[in-house]
Amino acid sequence: MQTLKLALSFLLVTSLALPVGAQSIDEALRLYKADDLEDAAFAFYDVMQTDANPDHRDQAEIYLAETLRKLGMLVPALFYYSDLFRVGRSNRYYLNAVDGLLKVQEALRDSVWVPVLINELYNPDAFGELDPERAAQINYLIGELSFRQRKNKDAKSFLEYVPPESNLHAKARYLLGLLATRADDPDGAQEHFLAIINLIDEDDPSPELRRVRNLALLAAGRNAYGRGKLDEATEHYAKVPRFSESWFAAMYENAWAFFRKEDYGRALGELQSITAPYFAKRFIPEAFVIRGTTYFVNCQWDRVRRSVTQYKGTYEPMRDQLQAYLEESRDPAEIYRDVVAGGAGRFSIELAREVRRTQRFKDYHHMITHMAWQRRNVDETPVWKGSRLANDMTMTIDQHLEATEKVAGQWAKLRLSEMLAQLNNYQNQINILDFEVADAERNWLEQGKEILKGRRARLPRPNIPNDQWQHWSFDREYWKDEIGYIQHALRSECF
Amino acid sequence: MSTPRLVALTALLSLPAAPLWAQADEPAAPPTPVEPAVAPAPAAPVEEALEQDESIYVVQRRVYSKKGAFELTPLFYTSLNNKFVGHFGLGLAAAYHVRENLALELQSSVPYVGDRFFSALVYEVYQQEQLTPEAVDLKQMDYFGGLSVLFSALYGKMELYSWLIDYDFFVTAGVGFVSTIETCVPERGDCSEEVGGTGQGIGRGVHSPEEAGDRFKLSGNLGGGMRFFFSDRLGLRLEIRDVVYSDRAVESNEVTTDIRNNVLFFLGLSVLL
């Protein structure tokens, strides 16, 4: 208590005694309007620290936050916006602070700090006074946060409040679709996914909206596949635009759909496409499982064995290495850095790339690299050098950077653990395949059938739908424009 | 039927072929983490050899489709077998693609654009009276047009600096119509008295034959060529076509006839409408 009193007395004294050279709010505003932002930041900070008038201090703080945001110093801006936001609606700059926080969230692609803060101090009455797009952004952020926290009911409520006019509507619908899937309502989920596909044009100028549309196509394909509607699944997968981010996943998953439709040539063709050099270093253990299973049902034992051998040669060591890595105790930040460094020799680059390819990791990485830049910028801005403002900013950025690396690392570890579980699962499937093929070969030998195959004759080419299609022979030379159009000609060798 | 897809044509054009494609599997933002160099995976020749017996095809939607489209082609042409006479000029072709590999085409030279000429050989032989060419050999084709069928059974593609180019080979056959002009004989038809006697040169000028039958001929067209398409709309066309017709000339009551083969080379820019 004594310490607190002392601190308050010190604050009182420092705030009342205006030191020589201290800035006035008017001078700070003049610098701000003259676009001399670095000096303005310094001046606002000075006013905030020294001005006796609390209203001036609040004004200086909101302007300081605005100035820093304009300078790209997003984390310090976040700090000062948060400070005013925490005061509540009674502060006359409250709504400005909320608006600033949302702008920082967008620029920083922040899925951690702003969403948690807004969720913690959620004020529906005050937020209702915001611009509709900002209100939609708040609903989306809290909805997404709740979705991640598996608070499904909350997530649904908030996401349903994102109106169709909002840029975030499609993303909200996508999450609503996933929530419906969680609630075991595939029809409801499909409705959401199809709504997104209809809502966003394939050639929409916004890359983000096109990305969401492609994700919705993938999700619609998965959902249809899950309901056993294989033709519909194939149709959705085929609509994912070539060379888009989701295209690889569409072909990969479509292989299973073709397999289930017993269109084995096309199933193998999709797998052939995803192993093209264009997709080098992708994590594709399941491709070998599908390929092996396809050959198995066609009684081509030698080719099953080849798939099993390829899988074991590639993914068994990868699994062992990953298991050892995850079993060791590590700081999450170290895991994040290892992922960034392509596994750093501690686990496969395929795994690292698989983690890095996710939007969430890209967003974390964007935040962290941006924070690192902000940190350097503080040191390199001469006006701020050695000042208390610089010290405060450095401290804030360092704290956020450290914490964000930790969050990113924890998330990366979770993804790596999921991949380990997948590898264990596929390993079991490959082992079963290995056993089954040995058993099948034994049966054939007992029946006096030949199991050793020589070189097989080339089979006739597949049919083409009409003259809008062309045949090319595939000579193991991958042409970029042919990826996704590859088909195997396959004949069952079962007796 | 597929054709070898790059080698012949890149060699023909003497242009460096582009790499198959640029690797770009990561989006631009956020900044891509720097990766340590990774040694390339060792090749697996044994495995590769084992997989050679898989029957793999590409069944691909055409990049550029022609079916149902009109193709308009301004052409430059020049004759190739200039024994006594030669021609060059401009033409125009309008084709309708009934199918991807079949088209009907109307083709015409543009009258009064271009030139006809006697070859150097004519001047040489005129120096030696004994070797005067027959009159029919000196007749020049001043117009041709025709209706042809184009059939394309062979196709291919190539990539040039990440630009995919489709090409096809076609053969063409059809019927047409040509107009010819003959060398002047003094005081005959619209040729003056002075012609030939006043140093107008060996060619002695040309004029339209008096008899329409000697001027207008039915012809046959036979040829083949290659089309390159760079986009849904634009293409380049190279073609060699033989315009064949029976010709006749009357000079000093002497009638000479010949089956004329005018082998023409065409270069055109195709526009698909």
How do the pLDDT tens digits run along chain A, 495 residues long? 444 444 444 444 344 333 434 568 899 999 999 999 999 998 999 999 888 889 999 999 999 999 999 999 999 999 999 999 999 999 999 999 999 999 999 999 999 999 999 999 999 999 989 999 999 999 999 999 999 999 999 999 999 999 999 999 999 999 999 999 999 999 999 999 999 999 999 999 999 999 999 999 999 999 999 999 999 999 999 999 999 999 999 999 999 999 999 999 999 999 999 988 888 889 999 999 999 999 999 999 999 999 999 999 999 999 999 999 999 999 999 999 999 999 999 999 999 999 999 999 999 999 999 999 999 999 988 888 888 999 999 999 999 999 999 999 999 999 999 999 999 999 999 999 999 999 999 999 998 888 777 788 888 888 888 888 888 888 878 888 889 999 999 999 887
Does residue A292 contact residue A307 with C-beta atoms inside 8 Å? Answer: yes
Contact B199/A at CB under 8 A: no
CA A125 to chain CA centroid, Å, is 32
Q: Which residue of A has its CA nearest to B156?
A: A472
Residue B90 near residue B108, CB atoms below 8 Å:
no
pTM (2 d.p.)? 0.78
Question: What three-state secondary structure class fits B17?
Answer: coil
ipTM over 0.90: no
In whole angstroms, what is the distance from residue A22 CA to residue A294 CA? Answer: 78
Task: For residue B61, give the nearest of A357, A469, A490 by CB distance.
Answer: A469
Name the pairing type of β-strands B163-183 and B234-251.
unpaired
Partner-chain residue, chosen from A109, A481, A487, that has the shortest CB–CB distance to B59: A487
Give residue A99's pLDDT.
95
Task: Find the closest chain A residue to B3 by CA distance.
Answer: A472
Q: With an 8 Å Cβ cutoff, are B47 and A310 in contact? A: yes
Q: In 3-state terms, what secondary structure has residue B44? A: coil
Give the relative orientation of helices A359-380 and A349-356 as an angle to the nearest 10 degrees: 80
Nearest CA in chain A to B6: A479
> How far is A342 from chain B, CA to nearest CA, in Å?
6
Pick B36's closest partner by Cβ from A272, A310, A341: A341
Which chain A residues touch B51 with a CB distance below 8 Å?
A: 306
For the cut 90, the answer to whether the pLDDT of residue B114 exceeds it is no
Q: Is B46 on the interface with A (CB under 8 A)?
A: no
Between A and B, how many CB-CB pairs are < 8 A?
129
Distance CA B180, CA B137 (A): 11
Query: In angstroms, rounded to a whole number, what is the distance separating the alpha carbons of residues B231 and A403?
Result: 52
pLDDT tens by residue, A379-398: 988 888 888 999 999 999 99
Copy the structure tokens of residue B147.
């209706």
B2 has a pLDDT exceeding 50: no
Looking at the complex, report in whole angstroms how far the Cα of residue B231 sits from the nearest Cα belonging to chain A.
Answer: 14
Least Cα distance to A484 among B59, B162, B64 occurs for: B59
Q: B residues 132-191 near A, CB within 8 Å? A: 155, 157, 159, 164
Nearest to B148 by CA among B97, B101, B100, B95: B95
